[in-house]
Structures are given as structure tokens and as C-alpha cells.
Homo-oligomer: A and B are copies of this chain.
Amino acid sequence: MKEDLLETIELEMAILGRRLTSVTPNKAQTNLDRATYLLLLKLFVQGSLGVKVLATELQLDMSTVSRQAATLEHKGYVNKIPDPLDGRAYFYQITELGKTELLTYKQMRMEKFRGLVKEWSDEECEAFGRLLKKFNQALHQK
């Protein structure tokens, strides 16, 4: 039963994982880094959220999110608004500057991926995206 298929996925995932953690500090390119990108995107899509909810949804430790949010606040990409109903809690709200940066960074990423799949058929791109999404959902479950 599909042992070799599994083996390919396992191997290629290892390779991909390593490539994706290659440091290369994306100097000068943009002010956003890949860590805070998803956090900012979440705030863009879902509106204002607190550290707790963000950490849960991103499946990260609160300490990590807390730091990422602080970084974004320093850069002026989000505002930190005290929750009027809970003195311990805050909402992080994306700013106009944050939206601009987010879009810029997204565009830059998309150009990179465009170059990588430029010889691929639409069918392949569609399948790849769909399966990646499905895989991520499986990862998210367990």
C-alpha cells in the first residue's frame, strides 16, 4: 500500500522544510519578515484580535505571538488597543501602513513563486495549491 508514495512525500517535505528555513535575512527587500507575515495577514482578514486568540489560531506559543505583535507595533503596522471589557486584554488592529506593507510583501512573495512555477501548467498549479492546503489542514487537525 503506497509505501513509495509516502516515502517521496516524506523526503521532499524534509528538503522543502530545510529550504524554507534558510535564513538569508531578507535585507532591504521589505520590512516584513516571514514570521510576522501570517500574523499581520490574520489581523487583516479577521479584524482585531488579542494575543491569546492569535496564538491559538496560528498554533504558536503566546510568548512568540506577544513578541511578534510587539515588533509589528514598533514598526507601526498595528495598533495595540486595550480591551475596554477586560483590563488584562488587548486588541491588535492593523494600520493603513500595515496594510500597505502586507500587500507589498505579498506581491514580492508572489513574484518569487511565479518565477518558480512559470513553466507549470495551470492544472499542476491548481493541484499543488489544493494539495498543500489539504496537507496544511491535516497538520492543523492533529
Tell me whether A12 and B139 are in contact (CB under 8 A): no
Q: How far is the CA of A135 from the CA of B122 in the complex (A)?
A: 14
A142 vs chain B, min Cβ distance (A):
7
Which residues of chain B have C-beta atoms less than 8 A from A131's C-beta?
124, 127-128, 131
Cβ–Cβ < 8 Å partners of A138 in chain B: 116-117
Do the beta carbons of A135 and B117 come within 8 Å of each other? Answer: yes
A78 to chain B, nearest CB (A): 18
**Cα distance, A130 to B47, chains bound together (Å):** 37
Q: Tell me whether B113 and A6 are in contact (CB under 8 A).
A: yes
Q: A interface, how many residues as a size bin? A: 35 or more
How distant is the Cα of A134 from the Cα of B131 in the complex, in angstroms? Answer: 14
Check A113–B18 contact: CB distance below 8 A.
no
In angstroms, Cα B133 to Cα A131, docked, is 13
Complex contact A132–B5 (CB within 8 A) = no
Whether, in the assembled complex, A13 has its beta carbon less than 8 Å from a beta carbon of chain B, the answer is yes
Given A109-B10, A128-B9, are A136 and B19 neighbors across the interface (CB < 8 Å)? yes
